[in-house]
Amino acid sequence: DIQMTQSPSTLSASVGDRVTITCRASQSMSTWLAWYQQRSGKAPKLLIYQTSSLESGVPSRFSGSGSGTEFTLTISNLQPDDFATYYCQRYKSYSPEWTFGQGTKVEIK
Amino acid sequence: DVQLVQSGAEVKKPGESLKISCKGSGYSFTSYWIAWVRQVPGKGLEWMGVIHPGDSDTRYNPSFQGQATISADKSISTAYLQWSSLKASDTAMYYCARPRVVGVYDAFDLWGQGTMVTVSS
C-alpha cells in the first residue's frame, strides 16, 4: 500500500507569509491527491482535489501542485483563518481506498 | 441545503453496543457513496469503510475490517456505523463524508459534523 508522509508536522508562520506543505508518497502515484483544512473542533474541509483543482468557494491563495511522489500545498498571504491543520489524501477514483497523510499544523509564530 | 447530519455524542461502557447515524439531505442520497472516517483525539484521519446506499454495496479498509459494521437505509437517507462490543480504543470522533462525484471514489467534498464516541468504564 502507498503511504503518505507530510512535512513538516508543525509549521510556525505569520500573517502574510507564504507557506508550503509537502506530501510524499511511498511510491509514484497518479494525480488523485486532495488537500483538506481542519480547524480545531471542526470537520475537515476540502481545499484542493486532483492535485491542483481548487474546490468551489476556496480562496485563490490556496494552490496545489506536484506529480509522481511529491505534492505540495501552498498558501500565499497567510490569513488568520488559515491557522489550522492540513491533511493530504490519496484516493483512487476506480477503487475504494483513501489514505491520509498524518497532518501538518500551521500555527502562529 | 446539501448536508450530512450526524447523531449526537455518545458515552458508553466497554462491551456495550452502539449505532451512530448520518442523514443526508439536499441531494440524491442513493447516488453517492458515503464513507466513515475515524479521528482519535489529537490524531489524524483514517478511512474506515464506504457504502453505496443505493444497493448497500459496502467496502472496508482492511485495517478496520471486523471492528465495526457499516449499513444504510435508503428509505430514510441514512447511513450507520455500529459496534457490537465497544472497546476503549474505539474512543474517537467519527465523521461521515461524501465523495464529490456521483458513483466515483473521489475526494470528500461534503462532511458531517462528527459524532464523538467515548468508551470508558
Percent of chain A with pLDDT over 70: 100
Give the SS3 label for residue A44: coil
Q: What is the pLDDT of residues B39-71, one digit of tens each?
A: 999 999 999 999 999 999 999 999 999 999 999
pLDDT of amino acid A13: 97
Q: Would you say residue B103 has pLDDT above 90?
A: no
Q: What separation, in Å, do the N-terminal and C-terminal C-alpha atoms of chain A show?
A: 36
Are the C-beta atoms of residues A8 and A106 closer than 8 Å to each other?
no
Provide the residue type at B4 as one letter.
Answer: L
A1 pLDDT band, cuts 50/70/90, is confident
pLDDT of amino acid B114: 98
Contact with chain B for residue A87, Cβ under 8 A: yes
Interface size A-B, in CB pairs within 8 Å, comes to: 62
Contact with chain B for residue A2, Cβ under 8 A: no
Q: What is the pLDDT of residues A88-109, one digit of tens each?
A: 999 998 889 999 999 999 999 9
Name chain A contacts of B101, Cβ cutoff 8 Å.
93
Mean pLDDT of chain A: 97
Q: Would you say residue B17 has pLDDT above 90?
A: yes
pLDDT of amino acid B94: 98
**Cβ–Cβ gap A87/B114 under 8 Å:** no
Contact with chain B for residue A27, Cβ under 8 A: no
Cβ burial of B70 (10 Å; 0-12, 13-18, 19+) is buried
Nearest to B105 among A44, A46, A92 (CB): A92
Are the C-beta atoms of residues B95 and A100 closer than 8 Å to each other?
no
Nearest to B44 among A45, A87, A96 (CB): A87
Contact with chain B for residue A57, Cβ under 8 A: no
Q: Would you say residue B87 has pLDDT above 90?
A: yes
Distance from C-alpha of B22 to C-alpha of A21, rounded to nearest angstrom: 32
Contact with chain B for residue A91, Cβ under 8 A: yes
Mean pLDDT of chain B: 97
Q: Would you say residue B104 has pLDDT above 90?
A: no
**Dihedral pair phi/psi, residue B40, rounded to 5°:** -65, 140
Name chain B contacts of A91, Cβ cutoff 8 Å.
105-107
